[in-house]
Chain A
Amino acid sequence: MKRAMIFLLALLPGIALSAEVRLPGGTAIVLTTTSSINSDTSSVGEAVTATVTTAVVIDGVTVIASGAQATGTVNRKEDSGMIGQSGKLTVEFTSVLAVDGTSVPIVATKTIEAKDEVAGTVVVSTLLCPLALLNEGDAAILPAGTQIRAISIGDVTING
């Protein structure tokens, strides 16, 4: 009996260390942008960050903590311009940090387009004043605090 107890106690650290959890591909992760991104001031390839809004818990084990950082880039942008041309912006998040430091690949894309003013500008410039053609459209802005739905890609084993 004593030997059996000692054997079981010896196994405990092993059990505690082996809390490996599989994060299945296709898991939804909620991200929140931490800073505002402007199409007129950002550049393609610029790094962007967001944090995980709600912890991802698998079988009672937290694998991605709330507040974990997600990284991505601005992968497409168009500046606003004359004749009311609006700005456009696409950001893509590609990874998020799990609790053990594993980089979990994700896909999350958000496209923002400012309200287009081209038609209105053309009408006003034609009917009222040609100088209206100088009207510059609005920049596309992805505000801080915007929630983005991300999906994990492929199965990832995480030490929870």
Chain B
Amino acid sequence: MSYKKTLLAVGPSIFAFPALIVLAAAVAAPLGNGLLGYPSGERFYAFLSDICHQFPTRSFWLFDHPLAICARCTGGYLGITAGVLAVMLTKGPTGRSYLAMGAALFVAAVLEGYIGLSDGNIWRAISGFVGGYGLMLLIRSASAVLFLKLRLIPNH
């Protein structure tokens, strides 16, 4: 793998691991309490309590227990993971138009979160997914533009 490809692949993948850890912990919490019994999943709820409000009615449920993150966060972390996979498996967007697209998706999702247009957990998850995916496009494109500016990678 060339220097340029390595640099652009490693950047987004840094975000994939934390996102996957959060998603795994979020699912492990209801699995623990639902299948193994209370308090097996409690450590996962506690682990994620600082990053999400964990309102049960705004979360997906598994085995009669809510996930340890809300629907919007679940969508967001899935979007980040999908975004990382997309930029790693394809050549990926690097141009300014993709930078604008990523920024637009991310800002739209954040604004929607504040205004609260989405009603229901499915829509909240979709909104989060769009935001997470947009964030990855934004980071990938921004890092490519930055690296080009700083001449860390060749233009061609």
A interface list, Cβ under 8 A from B: 25-28, 30, 53-54, 147, 149, 151
Contacts and interface: CB of A to CB of B under 8 A. Distances in A.
A53 B66 CA distance: 14
A28 B56 contact: yes
Contacts of A53: 56-57
Interface of B: 33, 37-39, 45, 53-58, 64-66
A150 to B, nearest CB: 9
Contact of A151 (B38, B55, B57, B58): B38
Contacts of A149: 45, 54, 56, 66
29 contacts: A25-B38, A26-B33, A26-B37, A26-B38, A27-B64, A28-B33, A28-B56, A28-B64, A28-B65, A28-B66, A30-B56, A30-B57, A53-B56, A53-B57, A54-B56, A54-B57, A147-B53, A147-B54, A147-B55, A147-B56, A147-B57, A147-B58, A149-B45, A149-B54, A149-B56, A149-B66, A151-B33, A151-B38, A151-B39
Contacts of B56: 28, 30, 53-54, 147, 149
A98 to B, nearest CB: 17
Contacts of A54: 56-57
Nearest to B63: A28
A111 B131 CA distance: 29
A28 B56 CA distance: 9
Contacts of B58: 147
A149 B68 CA distance: 10
B59 to A, nearest CB: 9
Contacts of B38: 25-26, 151
A100 B33 CA distance: 27
A146 to B, nearest CB: 8
A21 to B, nearest CB: 15
Contacts of B66: 28, 149
Nearest to A29: B56
A21 B48 CA distance: 34
By Cβ-Cβ distance, the 6 closest A-B pairs, closest first, are: A147-B55, A26-B38, A30-B56, A28-B65, A151-B38, A149-B56
Nearest to B58: A147
B122 to A, nearest CB: 18
